[in-house]
Structure 1
Amino acid sequence: MNRDRSYYRKQRKRAIHRKEGILSRIGGEAYIFTWAHGATGRFAKGKIHCSCWMCRRKSYDDPQLRDKRMAMDAAEQLREIEWGL
């Protein structure tokens, strides 16, 4: 399948915009400037995150929702007991 230049420009722009959005949500404009050094084209290739165990955050790393609810309920019960005394 032959694609023209506009397709590749659009994909490159999409990747750059996505990675800028990720960095801005994490640390704001300072992160974007630190990673790009003023040239946002650096985001076109490569990854912008570290995959080590200290940097990554996955959904399965957090406690499950039911466990969070149980902890909130337990904390609420403790507060009720404290106020009841």
Structure 2
Amino acid sequence: MKNRSRSYYRHQRNRAIKHKLGILINVWNWDLEEDGDHSWIANPGKLSKAKLNCSCNLCKYEKNYKIKKPHIKAKLKQMKKEISDFLSE
């Protein structure tokens, strides 16, 4: 394990908090004046371990409608090609 300083861990924690606060403001349309009493806004350090998952149909479209990812589709296509080549010989 690498020896990392406190400043490294502090930087990574602050980076994660800033990223998640940006999600709350820009994606979830939180207004700091209206939602100022929420614990995440009052104490942004809680965002370092918070999970901002969304399982709505818009965010998880492929998962909810069983659409395969492109790299899986490519592997399946390659496997089918190999099978057809093997059977045609």
Unaligned runs of 5+ in 2: 65-89
Tell me what 2:84 maps to: none
Q: TM-score, normalised by structure 2?
A: 0.52
Alpha-carbon spacing, 1:28–1:13, altered in 2? closer, same or farther (3 Å): same
**Shift, 1:19, TM fit:** 0.2
One-letter identity of the residue aligned with 2:52: I
Tell me what 2:24 maps to: 23
Tell me what 2:81 maps to: none
Alpha-carbon spacing, 1:14–1:39, altered in 2? closer, same or farther (3 Å): same
Asked if residue 44 in structure 1 is aligned to residue 59 in structure 2, the reply is no
Unaligned runs of 5+ in 1: 62-85
Backbone CA RMSD of aligned residues: 3.0
**Shift, 1:58, TM fit:** 4.0
Identity %: 37
Q: Is 1:50–1:56's contact at 8 Å kept on the other side of the alignment?
A: no
